[in-house]
Amino acid sequence: MYYAGRTLWVGLWQIVLILLAWLVAASEVSLSATTVEKELGLESGDWTQSAAQLDSLLLSTGEETAGPSASPWVRHSQGAVRLVSTVTGVGTSHSILLGLQFALQPHWKIYWRAPGETGYPPTVDWGGSQNLAKTRIAWPAPRRFSFQGVETAGYEGEVIFPITAILERPGVPLMGHANIEFLVCSTLCVPQRAVLDLLVRDGPAESSPFIHLVERSAARVPGDGRAAGLHLITATTQPGTKDGLIEVAVEAELPLAAPDLFIEGHNNVRASLPQISQRSRDSRHVVLRVRTRSPVAVGALVTLTVVDGVRALEATVPLGTLVADHDTIFEIGIILSLAFLGGLILNLMPCVLPVLSLKVMTMISHGGAERLAVRWSFVASAAGVLFSFMLLAAATITLKATGAAVGWGIQFQQPLFLSIMIIVLTLFTANLWGLFEISLPSWLTDQGGGVRTYGYTGAFLTGIFATLLATPCSAPFLGTAVGFALARGPVEILLIFMVLGIGMAMPYILVAIFPTLAVRLPQPGPWMIWLKGLMGLALAATVVWLLTVFAVQVGETTAILTGAAMVTVIGILASRLHPPLRPLPVAVVISVGLTIIAQVGQERETLSHQGLWLPFNENVLAHHVANGRVVFVDITADWCITCRINKALVLSHREVVKRLQDVVAMQADWTRPDVGVSAYLTRFGRYGIPFNVVYGPGARQGIALPELLTAEVVLQALETAAGRV
């Protein structure tokens, strides 16, 4: 396979390098200038030129001699190394920023923390230091070196490793004593050692001449990628193969020029030179594919570093499953069954309760009507549901083709969609309260037994709005089906969304097949006016809820003005009716809603200061998991009704809250579009919320929880992640 053809060659090459390194290291002290010239391939007189180049390099990187904030340079044949401080005094801080600075001759390199197939990184022993509790070294983004099929990662020229030094006693001078061991390589490799001593005196922590050098290098240390406009979308592996295969999808705000990928973790995984298997037309979305010496298990925790010029990102993530190129008929059949069940159960989710009034009014309006009229009316409602799902599928395919984030319910992240829904549902509310009637042409309505029923257009629109308002919910089986669809192509997306629509439309289809269910209801009469009023209250509550979500998106002022405009519309429509107090219930409901909106910002601020939830950050998450902590992650949004149900019934449960106080609880808000959150969901094969996952010593890859939580499920997952089960 990939590595089989060159394993023997690589082994022989490493033996040659070791022998050469030993010979050079053993003779370096006694070598004359002529011998050094021969070893380095320099012609007569070139050694003087090389030394001059080193002097020039040292002068360009700072004073050659030791200063008040730097150790002396320690020279060797391939360059020099020293220790610098960003401050002239320790001040009163608990830590100071140092820098380990290498200045290398042309064509010589040192290695990154994960060197690749050969070499080893610099190591620092701080034994003998004074007032130094511990240190933390940061690694700037590396570059790749390929030589005869051997892949390594490291640095050429000048590199500074930022080092955070934690002091034992703030305000007391720091005496840093560093024993450095490193390997310098060109066409041959030379092990080197250096002893560096740096004194940072007491006194004010004023900036030293080296602060800009170290901070510039610190800026090259990969973070989560957001500052660089890079986002990790998916990281997957394909099990069951002799050689491992890993694919990583990356999205960038600016076009990617030459992206590279470095992989760490999982038994020192060794990866081939990455190949770009997919690239979008605008080069903002690429998929990098690498082969590994051995298979990497699904769920294995790996650290991925993506570098594109001066941009870089780093993330520690569990590997998902790389979908095979072809799915069996059995697998597709299972997914379609889950899609049907998910759509059917969606009718029972809390998101559809606001449109229950539309369904009820559809039923009772057919009381006493002819069966044929009832049948075609409910067929129209089912068609509205299917049309909506096909519309969602088409929009999803379009967004996916452009490289945009896709997911279930993400239209509620768009202020334009929310404003349209607020206006339309306000008009529906006014209609149910009898403030105005929608007059349709006679050819759009039908007569059944002398009783005028809803027209087919009204029934069709009922199905559309039932679908749109149901999308903030995630029902059981729905997430699996949607995740499968969004990981495939347009055909699969259309097929699965169509089956989802059939599942949700099934109640309408059943009434169309058995119209007696609606015909036997009492005929419309005075009682229906009161029922319509109650159903209107349900829609008014939906408007209030949408205004609270709208307030988070565009601000409280805009939301309040929008709500006031809706109240004005209701008032204008009601002014034509008598008595004048008839619109009072409407105004009261909307006014209460505006009061709720005014409290949204304060409520969200209060919740953020409760101390239980920390902001979601994948790097912080990986740090806690690496340190053996249990971490509970909650992805939520203000427009997600199921999320609110989980929060009210489960995450606010006394036993659950007590247990979460003993772990790290992190929460991500997906109310507004967030590429980072979308990428995190995608790596788990999820495209909708709610989504909860638990990490810990017993579940480093994470335990994904079901959409509908129970206290028992959460507590059991926390125990499993802690390794107690």
The answer as to whether 280 is a domain residue is yes
Looking at the fold, whether 214 and 234 belong to one and the same domain comes out as no
The answer as to whether 678 is a domain residue is yes
Pairing verdict, β 691-696 and 699-704: antiparallel
Residue 87 phi, psi dihedral angles, 5° rounding? -130, 155
The answer as to whether 71 is a domain residue is yes
Closest CA relative to residue 470, chosen from 361, 343, 645, 384 = 343
Looking at the fold, whether 66 and 209 belong to one and the same domain comes out as yes
Per DSSP (E only), the strands in 64-149 are: 74-76, 79-85, 95-104, 109-116, 123-125, 132-137, 143-147
Over 60: is that where the pLDDT of 451 sits? no
Over 50: is that where the pLDDT of 28 sits? no
Looking at the fold, whether 234 and 349 belong to one and the same domain comes out as no
From 564, 584, 605, give the residue that closes a domain: 605
SS3 of 167-179: the string is: ECCCCCCEEEEEE
- Complete DSSP assignment for 240-281: S-SSEEEEEEEEESS--SS-EEEEEETTT--B---EEEEE-T
Question: What token pair was written down for 477?
Answer: 């089986």
The answer as to whether 589 is a domain residue is yes
Report which secondary-structure segment, H or E, holds 180: strand 174-185
Q: Which of 351-355, 463-467, 714-718 has the lowest mean pLDDT?
A: 351-355
Looking at the fold, whether 146 and 10 belong to one and the same domain comes out as yes
Question: By the 8 A CB rule, do 706 and 713 touch?
Answer: yes
d(CA 382, CA 724): 49
Range of the domain at 257: 230-321
CATH at 253: 2.60.40.10
> Environment class of residue 159 by beta-carbon count within 10 Å: exposed (0-12), middle (13-18) or buried (19+)?
buried
Looking at the fold, whether 171 and 277 belong to one and the same domain comes out as no
Looking at the fold, whether 258 and 119 belong to one and the same domain comes out as no
Q: What is the mean pLDDT of residues 467-496?
A: 72
Looking at the fold, whether 711 and 664 belong to one and the same domain comes out as yes
Tell me the pLDDT tens digit for each residue of 119-133: 999 999 999 999 999
Name the band, by pLDDT with cuts 50, 70 and 90, for residue 266.
low
Q: How many CB atoms are closer than 10 A to CB 127?
A: 8
Q: What is the mean pLDDT of residues 611-625?
A: 86
Characterise 593 by phi-psi region: left (phi > 0), alpha (psi -120 to 50), beta (else): alpha
Q: How many CB atoms are closer than 10 A to CB 552?
A: 22
SS3 of 288-324: the string is: EEEEECCCCCCCCEEEEEEEECCEEEEEEEECEECCC
What sign for the dihedral angle of Cα 227, 230, 231, 235? Answer: negative
pLDDT the model gives residue 36: 31
Pairing verdict, β 664-669 and 631-636: parallel
d(CA 525, CA 516): 19
Q: Which of 14-18, 161-165, 192-196, 709-713 has the lowest mean pLDDT?
A: 14-18
Looking at the fold, whether 373 and 519 belong to one and the same domain comes out as yes
Looking at the fold, whether 185 and 241 belong to one and the same domain comes out as no
Looking at the fold, whether 524 and 418 belong to one and the same domain comes out as yes
Report which secondary-structure segment, H or E, holds 447: strand 447-448
Looking at the fold, whether 586 and 625 belong to one and the same domain comes out as no
Residue 99 phi, psi dihedral angles, 5° rounding? -145, 130
Name the band, by pLDDT with cuts 50, 70 and 90, for residue 35.
very low
Residue 537 phi, psi dihedral angles, 5° rounding? -60, -40
The answer as to whether 447 is a domain residue is yes
Question: What token pair was written down for 221?
Answer: 């240390």
**Omega prior to 579 cis, within 30 of 0:** yes
Looking at the fold, whether 385 and 492 belong to one and the same domain comes out as yes
CB-facing half-sphere around the CA of 612: CA atoms within 13 A: 15
DSSP tag of 650: I
Name the band, by pLDDT with cuts 50, 70 and 90, for residue 253.
confident
Question: By the 8 A CB rule, do 688 and 409 touch?
Answer: yes
From 605, 640, 659, give the residue that closes a domain: 605
Total domains present in the chain: 4
The answer as to whether 114 is a domain residue is yes
| 298 vs 65, higher pLDDT | 298
Which residues, in sequence order, are CB contacts of 491 under 8 Å at separation 6+?
Answer: none
Closest CA relative to residue 207, chosen from 96, 66, 58, 63 = 96
One-letter amino acid identity for 238?
A: Q
Tell me the pLDDT tens digit for each residue of 354-366: 555 555 555 555 5
d(CA 468, CA 111): 54
The answer as to whether 637 is a domain residue is yes
Three-class DSSP category at 572: helix
Over 60: is that where the pLDDT of 21 sits? no
Closest CA relative to residue 670, chosen from 659, 662, 679, 661 = 679
From 266, 288, 321, give the residue that closes a domain: 321
The answer as to whether 712 is a domain residue is yes
